[in-house]
Amino acid sequence: MNSSWDILKILSDPTRLRLLALLSREELSVAELQDILAMGQSRISSQLAQLRQAKLVLDRREGKNAFYSLQEKLPAKTQALLGAAIDSISELPILAADRENLDLILQKRRRTQEQYFNLIAGRLGKNYCPGRSWEAIGHLALRLTPAIDIADFGAGEGLISQLLARRARQVWCIDNSPRMVEVGTELARKNGLENLTYKLGDIEQVPLADRSVDLVILSQALHHAQHPQDAVNEAFRVLRPGGQVLVLDLNEHGFEKARELYADIWLGFREGALHGFLKKAGFTKVEVSAVARESIEPYFETLLASGVKERR
């Protein structure tokens, strides 16, 4: 189904149009759509199935959850029809309510993560954390160059940055948990690391200037991002030409309890997905490889991805 006539028939249903308006703003699960629209699962799933058949939306599975998003590469005519349809109803009260409910859902996502990390602040280095092994961290450390400016995205207490700051020129730790920033700042003060600075911020909107650092690290942080591509794009933005990004993260796995135990949003990433994030952001010399595998269930495997921002 791709003719303008067929698309118009799809867009004529109010529920389908409300779904498209929401998905044009954010990837959402069926459960989240239920909360936003106050509708039953069967009705929403039925409408999503028609949108998927019309190739207007994409779906992906994350464990037991199904997430839907707007198809990225729609034909120009279809994009025009969809944009006009959504714009024509954007001022209706019911659409305003949908947007408010969407904002509440996104706030709930952020609160869940923040509550988890505030809870474990001060204990992160002592408790088990998937992929946080000295073997994996060692692989990352071997690639570092001294006397450079470093940004650690999703740093937590800054376990890695505490070590790097002893030789680096400046290290910035970015984390969205106020308690993590507080604990990390105190650790830096106690250890006399004046070049180690903690900043409260989201890794998808990093509070650092363009071209301000030489190295960006995302160590077991990317699977906590709502939009991993945005976080990698931010790494590219803040890097100086010739700078490097290093990403340590879990290989794709099926351990569903990680969402509850560790506030994970993504169940790891395939090597191809990490490679794609870096290439799409603009990095060259992209490499991805497995560097560690845990010996007990669920046998988490850690990947190391790297890329370079070309000099221009």
pLDDT at 57: 94
Instruction: Quickly state the pLDDT bin for 134 (edges 50, 70, 90).
Output: low
Of residues 304 and 127, more confidence is placed in 304
Instruction: Quickly state the pLDDT bin for 299 (edges 50, 70, 90).
Output: very high
Mean pLDDT is lowest, of 136-145, 187-196, 296-305, for 136-145
Instruction: Quickly state the pLDDT bin for 123 (edges 50, 70, 90).
Output: low
Most confident of 59-73, 106-120, 224-238: 224-238
CA 220 – CA 300 distance, rounded (Å): 12
Percent of the chain with pLDDT over 90: 71
pLDDT at 142: 42
Cβ neighbour number for residue 71 with a 10 Å cutoff: 17
What average pLDDT does range 14-20 have in this prediction? 94
Of residues 135 and 308, more confidence is placed in 308
CA 272 – CA 270 distance, rounded (Å): 5
pLDDT at 175: 96
pLDDT at 91: 92
pLDDT at 149: 96
- How big is the CA angle at 227 (ends 225 and 233), to the nearest 5 degrees? 100
Instruction: Quickly state the pLDDT bin for 135 (edges 50, 70, 90).
Output: low
What average pLDDT does range 137-153 have in this prediction? 74
Instruction: Quickly state the pLDDT bin for 145 (edges 50, 70, 90).
Output: low
Tell whether the model's pLDDT for residue 124 goes beyond 60.
no
- Hey, what domains does the chain have and what are their CATH numbers? 4-119 (1.10.10.10), 134-308 (3.40.50.150)
Tell whether the model's pLDDT for residue 226 goes beyond 90.
yes
Most confident of 94-98, 114-118, 159-163: 94-98
Tell whether the model's pLDDT for residue 1 goes beyond 60.
no
CA 299 – CA 312 distance, rounded (Å): 42
Tell whether the model's pLDDT for residue 120 goes beyond 80.
no
